[in-house]
Amino acid sequence: MTENRSIDEIREQKLAELQETHENDGVGTTDSPSDPIHIEGQSQLTDATETHGVVLVDFYADWCGPCKMIEPTVEEIAAETDAAVAKVDIDANQRLATEFSVRGVPTLILFADGEPVEQLVGMQNKAALIDVIDQYS
């Protein structure tokens, strides 16, 4: 009897895991990193946006004052939400900045299911960013 109970418990656990995977279409689980991912090229950005269901990508520059001001907010969003956060230095990754039509910094692009769905330019407050993320989470 004890052995059968263990088997039943394992079955229930596996069923719950399968249901969670199905609900998330196999992607975008809540296992998003709690720290921003520093992107060094197109393939790394593609991996990040395809691995996580919702990704907020911060296109920034080291010399940009507003970029430095928004950095703590971006880090808090990475730690507090289910969205992954990625950071792209536009000076080191000019092709990526051009590909996504980044003309001013900071530019924040929200990806959902691997596709860009929102673009925000300039300083943003935390509540506004969380509202946008929640629309796609």
Please, are residues 30 and 82 in contact by the beta-carbon 8 Å criterion?
yes
> Which of 47, 64, 76, 114 is the catalytic position?
64
Examine the residue annotation and report whether 74 is marked as an active-site residue of this protein.
no
Question: Which residue in the list 39, 55, 56, 67 is annotated as catalytic?
Answer: 67
Residue 108 neighbours by CB under 8 Å, 6+ apart: 56, 57, 58, 59, 74, 119, 120, 121, 124, 129
* Alpha carbons 126 and 124: distance in angstroms, whole number: 7
The gap from C-alpha 67 to its chain's centroid, in whole angstroms, comes to: 18
Number of neighbouring beta carbons within 10 Å of residue 121: 14
* CA 25 to chain centroid: 16
**130 in active site:** no
Distance, in Å, from the CA atom of 108 to the CA atom of 17, rounded to the nearest integer, reads 33
- Active-site residue set: 64, 67
